[in-house]
Amino acid sequence: MKRFVRRALPPFAASMLLIACRDNGTDSSTGGAGTTSTGTSTGTKMSGTTTSTTGATMTTTSSGMGGSGGGPIGCDGPVHTVQEVSDGTLGPGLKIKLQGVVAMSEKFFVAKGSNSCLWGVYVSAPGLTETAPHTGALVLSYGNPPADDGMGNFFCPKQQPGLPGDKIPDDTKPGDVLDLVGVTATFPQTFNCDPTKDPQQTVPMHQLAQVCNVTKTGTATPPAPHKLTATEIAKVSSTTDKDFHDQWGAVQVELDNVAVVPQGGAAVGPDFKVHVAPDIEVSEKAFFRAYQKDACHGGYIYSDPNTTFNSIVGFHYLNFCDWEISPADKCKDLDPQSEDCVTKGVTSCVGM
Protein backbone atom coordinates (compact mmCIF):
# COMPACT_ATOMS: atom_id res chain seq x y z
CA MET A 1 0.00 0.00 0.00
CA LYS A 2 1.32 3.42 -0.88
CA ARG A 3 2.00 6.19 1.57
CA PHE A 4 -0.15 9.23 2.25
CA VAL A 5 1.60 12.33 3.56
CA ARG A 6 -0.35 15.38 4.67
CA ARG A 7 0.79 18.55 3.00
CA ALA A 8 0.59 21.78 4.95
CA LEU A 9 -1.12 24.39 2.78
CA PRO A 10 0.49 27.86 2.89
CA PRO A 11 -1.95 30.53 4.00
CA PHE A 12 -1.18 33.43 1.73
CA ALA A 13 -2.68 33.82 -1.71
CA ALA A 14 0.48 33.70 -3.81
CA SER A 15 1.49 30.29 -2.50
CA MET A 16 1.50 27.12 -4.58
CA LEU A 17 1.28 23.52 -3.50
CA LEU A 18 4.63 21.81 -3.79
CA ILE A 19 4.59 18.09 -4.41
CA ALA A 20 6.83 15.43 -5.78
CA CYS A 21 7.15 15.65 -9.53
CA ARG A 22 9.92 15.73 -12.02
CA ASP A 23 12.42 17.55 -14.14
CA ASN A 24 15.62 17.17 -16.08
CA GLY A 25 17.90 20.14 -16.71
CA THR A 26 17.21 23.84 -17.03
CA ASP A 27 15.90 25.91 -19.92
CA SER A 28 19.20 27.74 -20.20
CA SER A 29 21.23 24.61 -20.82
CA THR A 30 23.29 24.69 -23.99
CA GLY A 31 23.90 22.15 -26.68
CA GLY A 32 23.71 21.65 -30.41
CA ALA A 33 20.66 20.43 -32.22
CA GLY A 34 20.83 16.84 -33.39
CA THR A 35 20.82 15.84 -37.01
CA THR A 36 18.49 13.32 -38.59
CA SER A 37 19.80 10.20 -40.27
CA THR A 38 17.78 7.12 -41.24
CA GLY A 39 15.00 8.14 -38.89
CA THR A 40 17.07 8.56 -35.76
CA SER A 41 18.51 11.65 -34.14
CA THR A 42 22.12 12.28 -33.28
CA GLY A 43 23.65 15.37 -31.81
CA THR A 44 25.28 17.05 -28.87
CA LYS A 45 23.87 16.12 -25.51
CA MET A 46 22.51 19.01 -23.50
CA SER A 47 24.60 20.30 -20.62
CA GLY A 48 23.16 21.77 -17.44
CA THR A 49 21.60 20.28 -14.38
CA THR A 50 19.86 17.00 -14.24
CA THR A 51 17.46 17.00 -11.37
CA SER A 52 15.09 14.84 -9.48
CA THR A 53 12.51 15.85 -6.93
CA THR A 54 11.89 14.56 -3.48
CA GLY A 55 8.98 16.36 -1.92
CA ALA A 56 9.07 20.00 -2.96
CA THR A 57 12.77 20.52 -3.63
CA MET A 58 14.66 19.75 -6.82
CA THR A 59 18.19 18.54 -6.11
CA THR A 60 21.04 18.69 -8.57
CA THR A 61 22.60 15.41 -9.60
CA SER A 62 25.02 16.71 -12.22
CA SER A 63 26.95 19.91 -12.65
CA GLY A 64 26.40 22.86 -14.94
CA MET A 65 23.54 24.87 -13.41
CA GLY A 66 22.22 27.62 -15.62
CA GLY A 67 19.80 30.44 -15.00
CA SER A 68 16.07 30.31 -15.59
CA GLY A 69 13.94 31.55 -18.44
CA GLY A 70 16.25 30.96 -21.42
CA GLY A 71 16.39 28.07 -23.85
CA PRO A 72 18.79 25.73 -25.60
CA ILE A 73 20.97 27.74 -27.94
CA GLY A 74 19.14 28.30 -31.21
CA CYS A 75 15.95 26.73 -29.83
CA ASP A 76 15.60 24.41 -32.80
CA GLY A 77 16.17 20.79 -33.62
CA PRO A 78 15.25 17.99 -35.98
CA VAL A 79 11.58 17.06 -36.24
CA HIS A 80 10.61 13.90 -34.39
CA THR A 81 7.44 12.32 -33.08
CA VAL A 82 5.74 11.79 -29.74
CA GLN A 83 6.18 8.05 -30.25
CA GLU A 84 9.95 8.43 -30.55
CA VAL A 85 9.99 10.32 -27.24
CA SER A 86 7.68 7.83 -25.55
CA ASP A 87 9.31 4.59 -26.66
CA GLY A 88 12.84 5.72 -25.86
CA THR A 89 14.02 5.60 -29.48
CA LEU A 90 15.84 8.90 -29.13
CA GLY A 91 17.29 8.48 -25.67
CA PRO A 92 17.67 11.39 -23.24
CA GLY A 93 19.45 14.67 -23.85
CA LEU A 94 18.57 15.46 -27.47
CA LYS A 95 17.06 18.76 -28.56
CA ILE A 96 14.15 18.06 -30.91
CA LYS A 97 11.03 19.60 -32.42
CA LEU A 98 7.50 18.19 -32.20
CA GLN A 99 5.00 19.49 -34.75
CA GLY A 100 1.22 19.49 -34.65
CA VAL A 101 0.83 17.89 -31.24
CA VAL A 102 -2.50 18.35 -29.50
CA ALA A 103 -2.73 19.76 -25.97
CA MET A 104 -4.64 17.36 -23.72
CA SER A 105 -4.65 19.49 -20.57
CA GLU A 106 -4.34 23.06 -19.44
CA LYS A 107 -0.94 24.22 -18.23
CA PHE A 108 -0.28 23.21 -14.64
CA PHE A 109 2.30 23.73 -11.90
CA VAL A 110 4.85 20.92 -11.62
CA ALA A 111 7.57 21.80 -9.11
CA LYS A 112 9.53 24.49 -7.32
CA GLY A 113 13.30 24.65 -7.76
CA SER A 114 15.79 27.03 -6.20
CA ASN A 115 16.24 29.05 -9.41
CA SER A 116 12.92 28.67 -11.18
CA CYS A 117 9.43 27.19 -11.08
CA LEU A 118 8.50 24.38 -13.42
CA TRP A 119 5.31 24.18 -15.50
CA GLY A 120 3.92 21.48 -17.76
CA VAL A 121 1.21 20.39 -20.16
CA TYR A 122 0.23 16.98 -21.51
CA VAL A 123 0.18 16.57 -25.29
CA SER A 124 -0.93 13.88 -27.72
CA ALA A 125 0.34 12.79 -31.09
CA PRO A 126 -1.70 14.41 -33.90
CA GLY A 127 -4.44 12.87 -35.98
CA LEU A 128 -5.95 10.47 -33.43
CA THR A 129 -9.57 9.73 -32.61
CA GLU A 130 -8.56 7.67 -29.55
CA THR A 131 -5.36 7.59 -27.52
CA ALA A 132 -3.10 4.61 -28.05
CA PRO A 133 0.27 3.28 -26.84
CA HIS A 134 3.18 5.72 -27.25
CA THR A 135 0.94 8.67 -28.16
CA GLY A 136 1.36 10.92 -25.11
CA ALA A 137 4.06 13.14 -23.66
CA LEU A 138 4.49 15.48 -20.70
CA VAL A 139 6.29 18.65 -21.83
CA LEU A 140 7.98 20.90 -19.28
CA SER A 141 9.25 24.48 -19.21
CA TYR A 142 10.96 26.60 -16.57
CA GLY A 143 9.52 29.95 -15.52
CA ASN A 144 10.19 32.71 -13.03
CA PRO A 145 12.01 31.91 -9.79
CA PRO A 146 10.15 31.53 -6.50
CA ALA A 147 9.43 34.83 -4.74
CA ASP A 148 10.08 35.67 -1.09
CA ASP A 149 6.91 36.53 0.82
CA GLY A 150 8.93 38.81 3.11
CA MET A 151 9.19 36.21 5.85
CA GLY A 152 11.79 33.99 4.25
CA ASN A 153 9.28 31.69 2.56
CA PHE A 154 9.66 31.20 -1.17
CA PHE A 155 6.61 30.50 -3.32
CA CYS A 156 6.02 29.98 -7.01
CA PRO A 157 3.74 32.54 -8.66
CA LYS A 158 0.02 32.19 -9.14
CA GLN A 159 -0.99 30.46 -12.32
CA GLN A 160 -2.42 33.39 -14.20
CA PRO A 161 -1.39 35.35 -17.33
CA GLY A 162 2.04 36.93 -17.21
CA LEU A 163 3.19 35.47 -13.89
CA PRO A 164 4.65 31.98 -14.50
CA GLY A 165 7.16 33.29 -17.06
CA ASP A 166 7.72 29.93 -18.75
CA LYS A 167 7.47 29.18 -22.48
CA ILE A 168 4.10 27.39 -22.40
CA PRO A 169 1.32 29.89 -23.24
CA ASP A 170 -0.70 30.69 -20.13
CA ASP A 171 -4.01 30.05 -21.89
CA THR A 172 -3.09 26.61 -23.29
CA LYS A 173 -6.12 24.34 -23.21
CA PRO A 174 -7.20 20.95 -24.55
CA GLY A 175 -7.46 21.00 -28.33
CA ASP A 176 -4.74 23.56 -28.98
CA VAL A 177 -2.42 22.36 -31.76
CA LEU A 178 1.19 23.12 -30.88
CA ASP A 179 4.67 23.13 -32.37
CA LEU A 180 7.37 23.01 -29.71
CA VAL A 181 11.08 22.49 -29.13
CA GLY A 182 12.55 20.77 -26.09
CA VAL A 183 15.00 18.19 -24.83
CA THR A 184 14.29 14.48 -24.46
CA ALA A 185 14.62 13.28 -20.88
CA THR A 186 13.69 10.57 -18.42
CA PHE A 187 12.50 11.09 -14.86
CA PRO A 188 14.06 10.27 -12.53
CA GLN A 189 17.52 9.29 -13.67
CA THR A 190 18.06 7.42 -10.41
CA PHE A 191 15.45 6.31 -7.90
CA ASN A 192 15.85 7.11 -4.24
CA CYS A 193 12.66 5.62 -2.82
CA ASP A 194 12.32 5.10 0.92
CA PRO A 195 11.81 1.31 1.24
CA THR A 196 9.72 1.84 4.37
CA LYS A 197 7.25 4.14 2.57
CA ASP A 198 7.53 3.62 -1.18
CA PRO A 199 7.54 0.71 -3.61
CA GLN A 200 10.95 0.05 -5.11
CA GLN A 201 10.17 1.62 -8.45
CA THR A 202 12.43 0.64 -11.36
CA VAL A 203 10.74 2.23 -14.39
CA PRO A 204 11.36 5.93 -15.22
CA MET A 205 9.07 8.10 -17.35
CA HIS A 206 10.00 9.56 -20.74
CA GLN A 207 9.24 13.25 -21.22
CA LEU A 208 10.22 16.38 -23.11
CA ALA A 209 11.91 18.86 -20.79
CA GLN A 210 13.57 22.29 -21.16
CA VAL A 211 10.92 23.40 -23.64
CA CYS A 212 12.17 26.69 -25.06
CA ASN A 213 9.44 27.54 -27.57
CA VAL A 214 5.75 26.68 -27.93
CA THR A 215 3.70 28.01 -30.84
CA LYS A 216 -0.04 27.50 -31.22
CA THR A 217 -0.85 26.73 -34.85
CA GLY A 218 -4.56 25.84 -34.69
CA THR A 219 -7.12 23.72 -32.88
CA ALA A 220 -8.28 20.11 -33.10
CA THR A 221 -10.63 17.75 -31.31
CA PRO A 222 -8.63 15.92 -28.62
CA PRO A 223 -8.68 12.14 -28.99
CA ALA A 224 -10.96 10.16 -26.70
CA PRO A 225 -9.15 8.33 -23.89
CA HIS A 226 -8.40 4.66 -24.37
CA LYS A 227 -10.39 2.51 -21.97
CA LEU A 228 -7.95 0.31 -20.12
CA THR A 229 -8.88 -3.35 -19.89
CA ALA A 230 -8.96 -5.13 -16.54
CA THR A 231 -5.57 -6.61 -17.38
CA GLU A 232 -4.15 -3.17 -18.15
CA ILE A 233 -5.65 -1.61 -15.00
CA ALA A 234 -3.83 -4.24 -12.95
CA LYS A 235 -0.53 -2.96 -14.39
CA VAL A 236 -1.00 0.75 -13.63
CA SER A 237 0.91 0.73 -10.33
CA SER A 238 3.48 -1.90 -11.30
CA THR A 239 7.04 -1.11 -10.26
CA THR A 240 8.64 -3.26 -12.96
CA ASP A 241 6.47 -3.35 -16.10
CA LYS A 242 8.57 -1.18 -18.39
CA ASP A 243 6.68 -2.10 -21.55
CA PHE A 244 3.34 -0.98 -20.07
CA HIS A 245 4.68 2.27 -18.58
CA ASP A 246 6.57 3.18 -21.78
CA GLN A 247 3.41 2.59 -23.81
CA TRP A 248 0.99 4.50 -21.59
CA GLY A 249 3.17 7.04 -19.77
CA ALA A 250 1.65 10.57 -20.18
CA VAL A 251 -1.23 9.12 -22.25
CA GLN A 252 -4.80 10.00 -21.23
CA VAL A 253 -6.67 6.80 -20.38
CA GLU A 254 -9.97 5.76 -18.79
CA LEU A 255 -10.55 3.36 -15.90
CA ASP A 256 -14.07 1.98 -15.61
CA ASN A 257 -15.84 0.41 -12.62
CA VAL A 258 -13.07 0.86 -10.04
CA ALA A 259 -13.85 0.91 -6.32
CA VAL A 260 -12.35 3.13 -3.65
CA VAL A 261 -9.89 1.52 -1.26
CA PRO A 262 -10.66 3.48 1.95
CA GLN A 263 -7.78 5.28 3.63
CA GLY A 264 -8.26 5.36 7.40
CA GLY A 265 -11.95 4.72 6.86
CA ALA A 266 -12.32 7.65 4.44
CA ALA A 267 -12.70 7.78 0.66
CA VAL A 268 -10.08 10.54 0.31
CA GLY A 269 -6.61 10.25 1.81
CA PRO A 270 -5.02 13.03 3.89
CA ASP A 271 -3.01 14.21 0.86
CA PHE A 272 -6.19 14.79 -1.20
CA LYS A 273 -5.78 11.67 -3.32
CA VAL A 274 -8.32 8.95 -3.96
CA HIS A 275 -7.07 5.38 -3.85
CA VAL A 276 -8.84 2.76 -6.00
CA ALA A 277 -8.47 -0.96 -6.48
CA PRO A 278 -6.30 -2.78 -7.08
CA ASP A 279 -3.59 -0.35 -5.90
CA ILE A 280 -3.91 2.92 -7.81
CA GLU A 281 -3.60 6.48 -6.56
CA VAL A 282 -5.76 9.05 -8.32
CA SER A 283 -3.75 12.25 -8.08
CA GLU A 284 -4.89 15.87 -7.91
CA LYS A 285 -1.56 16.92 -9.44
CA ALA A 286 -2.75 18.44 -12.72
CA PHE A 287 -5.44 20.72 -11.28
CA PHE A 288 -4.74 21.44 -7.59
CA ARG A 289 -3.93 25.07 -6.66
CA ALA A 290 -3.36 25.74 -2.99
CA TYR A 291 -4.34 29.41 -3.31
CA GLN A 292 -7.53 28.76 -5.30
CA LYS A 293 -9.97 26.76 -3.21
CA ASP A 294 -12.85 26.43 -5.65
CA ALA A 295 -14.53 23.31 -6.99
CA CYS A 296 -12.09 23.05 -9.90
CA HIS A 297 -8.81 23.43 -8.03
CA GLY A 298 -9.34 22.07 -4.52
CA GLY A 299 -8.89 18.48 -3.37
CA TYR A 300 -11.41 15.73 -3.99
CA ILE A 301 -14.49 15.50 -1.76
CA TYR A 302 -16.11 12.06 -1.49
CA SER A 303 -17.93 11.19 1.71
CA ASP A 304 -18.71 7.55 1.03
CA PRO A 305 -15.71 5.27 1.60
CA ASN A 306 -17.52 2.63 -0.45
CA THR A 307 -17.68 4.77 -3.59
CA THR A 308 -17.33 2.95 -6.90
CA PHE A 309 -16.41 5.06 -9.91
CA ASN A 310 -18.21 4.42 -13.16
CA SER A 311 -15.19 6.00 -14.83
CA ILE A 312 -12.01 7.94 -14.11
CA VAL A 313 -10.18 9.73 -16.94
CA GLY A 314 -6.60 10.79 -16.34
CA PHE A 315 -2.98 10.67 -17.45
CA HIS A 316 -0.72 7.76 -16.57
CA TYR A 317 1.90 9.66 -14.61
CA LEU A 318 5.03 8.89 -12.56
CA ASN A 319 4.91 10.87 -9.33
CA PHE A 320 8.52 10.18 -8.31
CA CYS A 321 8.12 6.67 -6.88
CA ASP A 322 4.47 5.97 -7.75
CA TRP A 323 2.82 5.44 -11.11
CA GLU A 324 -0.59 7.13 -10.75
CA ILE A 325 -3.61 8.29 -12.71
CA SER A 326 -3.81 12.09 -12.86
CA PRO A 327 -7.10 13.70 -14.00
CA ALA A 328 -6.74 17.16 -15.54
CA ASP A 329 -10.36 18.30 -15.16
CA LYS A 330 -11.61 17.56 -11.66
CA CYS A 331 -15.29 18.18 -12.43
CA LYS A 332 -15.38 16.38 -15.79
CA ASP A 333 -12.98 13.47 -15.49
CA LEU A 334 -14.57 11.52 -12.63
CA ASP A 335 -17.99 9.84 -12.52
CA PRO A 336 -19.45 10.32 -9.97
CA GLN A 337 -18.24 13.89 -9.60
CA SER A 338 -16.50 15.25 -6.54
CA GLU A 339 -19.19 16.54 -4.21
CA ASP A 340 -18.11 20.19 -4.48
CA CYS A 341 -18.47 20.03 -8.27
CA VAL A 342 -22.04 18.83 -7.76
CA THR A 343 -22.99 21.50 -5.22
CA LYS A 344 -21.45 24.28 -7.36
CA GLY A 345 -22.98 22.95 -10.56
CA VAL A 346 -19.62 22.75 -12.37
CA THR A 347 -19.43 20.20 -15.19
CA SER A 348 -16.10 21.22 -16.74
CA CYS A 349 -13.15 23.23 -15.45
CA VAL A 350 -11.49 24.24 -18.72
CA GLY A 351 -10.81 27.97 -18.61
CA MET A 352 -11.86 28.36 -14.99
What is the average pLDDT across 245-257? 98
Q: Is 47 exposed, middle or buried, given 0-12, 13-18 or 19+ CB atoms closer than 10 A?
A: middle
- Asked if 316 contacts 137 with a C-beta cutoff of 8 angstroms, the reply is no
Predicted TM-score (pTM) of this structure: 0.81
The region that residue 234 occupies, defined by phi over 0 for left and psi between -120 and 50 for alpha, beta otherwise, is: alpha
Q: What are the pLDDT digits (tens) for 98-142?
A: 999 999 999 999 999 888 999 999 999 999 999 999 999 999 999
If you average pLDDT over every residue of the chain, what do you get?
Answer: 82
**Amino acid residing at 343:** T
The better pLDDT of the pair 243, 198 is held by 243
How far apart are the C-alpha atoms of 260 and 302, rounded to whole Å?
Answer: 10
* Residue 127 neighbours by CB under 8 Å, 6+ apart: 100
What is the average pLDDT across 327-342? 98
How far apart are the C-alpha atoms of 26 and 64, rounded to whole Å?
Answer: 9
* The Cα angle at residue 254 between residues 187 and 288, in degrees rounded to 5: 60
Q: Which residues, in sequence order, are bridge partners of residue 101? A: 178
